């Protein structure tokens, strides 16, 4: 006889899941033990939200759903952030939590929450695992996560049900993303390519904007097309690295990062905007609805939306068709002035800065020079995200991770942990604010314990600086956006991680390089002045 918990574990193991992230309660111990028996490691974390974020990034980098396991009640309630993040940031996540058994007395309300009702609006699939349905429900939930747009599924398993016999023998499941070409897509790719060639032939200032809906496997193709035709390109933050941002045709990062006014002006100056996998979920303004965009989508955007009149096409096929042709025109750096202004913003340090603070531009430049191009960078949410989002020179696909659909703080450090477990051979850098760092710094201990060393740079200004700048912008009185210092170095050391503080770019670069080479965790505190961000936004 196979118990239901064992059947869940077997389905996950057969689907290639090697790690489940989480924080247990008594009600999930049997499932945890069954996972252990089938060789699925449990990554024990210190908050369920962090576990969910780490799992989702780990999963996306491995091309499968991340899996997070929590207890019922409070543990399950802590899943709201990662489920919402998975939904809006297209990071596949299967969350499983315990629940009060159905046959408990009706008067038993301790830790009882309407979990399915709460999570249904933010999940692609919600179900209760039972002995009868386990071999259907779990594979289906895994598959749902990987249907584009990627997202979350939520399952519950009560401790009683976990011990009941499972009906069928577990089946093998293959998790694949659902880009099986719908009928007619082949022909549409040819038409779409012809249409684009016609539009580009007439355009004097075309701009390709690549978004979250592109599959990283198309990076080489899209680079060949853009570079070969010398087409100007922008990306949204979550696909940074799909093109080489040090290439001459790279115009900048669209959607709410530093230099956004400049980027919006560039978008308006284009006479042809090609939205290649562009997903408005990343855009905090409304230009995606106001400017005429020629959409090239192969899957619906977040929320299942497709712009009116847009037919889905296969990106690889469209690109292959385009690559069969010569460019229909030539464009001589039509966004040159924007590119130059963008570069100047990073290096222009005129104006006041606190004496012990490092110019934010120097932080990015020092780290980019010190770390190899394959380095995975994660950011938290705040002014530092805008800085790194715009100016970190991403060079390779899937090397930049931020929460930009949900834009939820406490993402950066957990994402770094998940990324390092998924890609143990590449250096990982987490760039976080001191506000965000204090939300989940304790996971540094987790990272040490599970063998996932990464470098964390904490930009210290004792404020929620992005919100402080917003308060200033609204001409409000300064009010409750500053906080007192917490010693970042001591915090790191108390988690068993080396820490240092520096205001010197060379020292920052040398320390980050050394830690990456030695595969050691390191936390570097860098004082910044919130006022310096004014010149970048």
Ligand X SMILES: Cc1ncc(C[n+]2csc(CCOP(=O)(O)OP(=O)(O)O)c2C)c(N)n1
Q: Count Cα neighbours of 180 within 13 Å in the Cβ-side half-sphere.
A: 4
Query: Residue 206 phi/psi, 5° resolution?
Result: -80, 150
Cα angle 388, 389, 391; round to 5: 60
CA dihedral of residues 249, 506, 413, 523 (deg, nearest 10): 170
Name the DSSP letter for residue 486: -
Binding to ligand X by residue 461, rule CB under 6 A?
yes
Which region among 44-52, 125-133, 207-215, 458-466 touches ligand X (by CB under 6 A)? 458-466
Binding to ligand X by residue 466, rule CB under 6 A?
yes
Q: 455 in the Ramachandran plot: left (φ > 0), alpha (ψ -120 to 50) or beta? A: beta
Q: Which residue is nearest to ligand X (CB)?
A: 433
User: Is the CB of 342 or the CB of 384 nearer to ligand X?
Assistant: 384
Query: Residue 184 phi/psi, 5° resolution?
Result: 90, -10
- The neighbour count for residue 444, using CB atoms within 10 Å, is 28
89, 66 in Cβ contact below 8 A? no
CA neighbor of 531 nearest in space, from 357, 284, 347:
357
The single residue among 22, 360, 397, 408 that binds ligand X, judged by CB under 6 A, is 408
Q: What is residue 501's three-state secondary structure?
A: strand
The single residue among 62, 124, 240, 384 that binds ligand X, judged by CB under 6 A, is 384
Which region among 149-157, 298-306, 465-473, 484-492 touches ligand X (by CB under 6 A)? 465-473
Q: Tell me which H or E stretch contains 377.
A: strand 376-379
User: Is the CB of 110 or the CB of 474 nearer to ligand X?
Assistant: 474
User: Is the CB of 282 or the CB of 314 nearer to ligand X?
Assistant: 282
The single residue among 75, 237, 433, 527 that binds ligand X, judged by CB under 6 A, is 433
266, 335 in Cβ contact below 8 A? yes
Binding to ligand X by residue 282, rule CB under 6 A?
no
Binding to ligand X by residue 464, rule CB under 6 A?
yes
User: Is the CB of 317 or the CB of 383 nearer to ligand X?
Assistant: 383
Binding to ligand X by residue 494, rule CB under 6 A?
no
The single residue among 91, 245, 279, 434 that binds ligand X, judged by CB under 6 A, is 434
Binding to ligand X by residue 412, rule CB under 6 A?
no
Binding to ligand X by residue 457, rule CB under 6 A?
no
Binding to ligand X by residue 382, rule CB under 6 A?
yes
User: Is the CB of 231 or the CB of 429 nearer to ligand X?
Assistant: 429
Binding to ligand X by residue 407, rule CB under 6 A?
yes
Give the tokens for residue 198: 């016609």
Residues of this chain, 184-243, that bind ligand X according to CB under 6 A: none
User: Which positions lie near ligand X, rule CB under 6 A?
Assistant: 380-384, 407-409, 433-436, 459, 461, 463-467
């Amino acid at each position: 006889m196979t118990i239901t918990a064992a059947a869940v574990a077997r389905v996950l193991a057969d689907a290639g899941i090697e790690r489940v992230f989480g924080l247990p309660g008594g009600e999930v111990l049997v499932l945890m033990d069954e996972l252990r028996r089938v060789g699925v490691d449990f990554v024990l974390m210190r908050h369920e939200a962090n576990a969910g974020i780490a799992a989702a990034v780990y999963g996306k980098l491995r091309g499968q759903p991340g899996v997070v396991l929590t207890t019922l009640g409070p543990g399950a309630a802590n899943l709201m952030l990662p489920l919402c993040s998975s939904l809006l940031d297209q990071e596949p996540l299967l969350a499983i939590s315990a629940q009060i058994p159905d046959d408990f007395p009706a008067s038993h309300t301790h830790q009882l929450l309407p979990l399915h009702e709460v999570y249904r609006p933010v999940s692609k699939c919600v179900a209760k695992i039972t002995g009868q349905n386990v071999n259907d429900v779990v594979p289906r939930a895994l598959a749902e996560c990987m249907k584009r747009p990627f997202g979350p599924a939520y399952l519950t398993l009560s401790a009683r049900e976990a011990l009941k016999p499972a009906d069928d023998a577990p089946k093998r499941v293959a998790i694949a993303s659902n880009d099986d070409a719908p009928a007619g897509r082949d022909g549409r790719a040819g038409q779409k390519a012809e249409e684009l060639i016609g539009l580009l032939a007439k355009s004097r200032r075309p701009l390709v904007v690549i978004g979250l809906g592109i599959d990283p496997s198309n990076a080489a193709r899209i680079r060949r097309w853009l570079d070969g035709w010398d087409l100007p390109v922008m990306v949204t933050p979550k696909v940074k690295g799909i093109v080489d941002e040090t290439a001459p045709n790279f115009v900048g990062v669209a959607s709410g990062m530093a230099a956004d006014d400049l980027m919006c002006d560039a978008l308006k100056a284009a006479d042809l905007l090609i939205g290649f996998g562009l997903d408005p979920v990343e855009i905090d303004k409304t230009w995606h609805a106001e400017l005429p965009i020629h959409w090239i989508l192969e899957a619906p955007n977040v929320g299942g939306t497709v712009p009116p009149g847009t037919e889905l096409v296969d990106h690889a096929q469209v690109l292959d068709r385009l690559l069969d042709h010569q460019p229909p025109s030539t464009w001589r750096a039509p966004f040159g002035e924007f590119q130059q202004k963008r570069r100047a913003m990073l290096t222009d340090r005129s104006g006041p800065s606190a004496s012990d603070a490092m110019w934010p531009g120097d932080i990015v430049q020092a780290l980019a020079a010190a770390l190899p191009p394959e380095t995975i960078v994660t950011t938290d949410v705040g002014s530092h995200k805008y800085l790194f989002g715009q100016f970190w020179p991403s060079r390779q696909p899937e090397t930049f991770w931020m929460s930009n659909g949900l834009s939820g703080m406490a993402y950066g450090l957990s994402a770094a942990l998940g990324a390092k477990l998924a890609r143990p051979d590449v250096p990982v850098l987490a760039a976080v604010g001191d506000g965000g760092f204090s939300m989940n710094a304790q996971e540094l201990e987790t990272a040490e314990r599970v063998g996932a060393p990464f470098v964390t740079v904490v930009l210290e200004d004792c404020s929620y600086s992005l919100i402080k700048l917003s308060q200033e912008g609204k001409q409000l009185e300064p009010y409750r956006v500053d906080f007192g210092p917490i010693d970042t170095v001591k915090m790191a050391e108390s988690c068993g991680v080396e820490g240092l503080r520096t205001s010197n770019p060379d020292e920052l670069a040398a320390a980050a390089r050394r830690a990456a080479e030695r595969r050691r965790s390191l936390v570097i505190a860098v004082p910044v002045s919130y006022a310096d961000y004014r010149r970048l936004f």
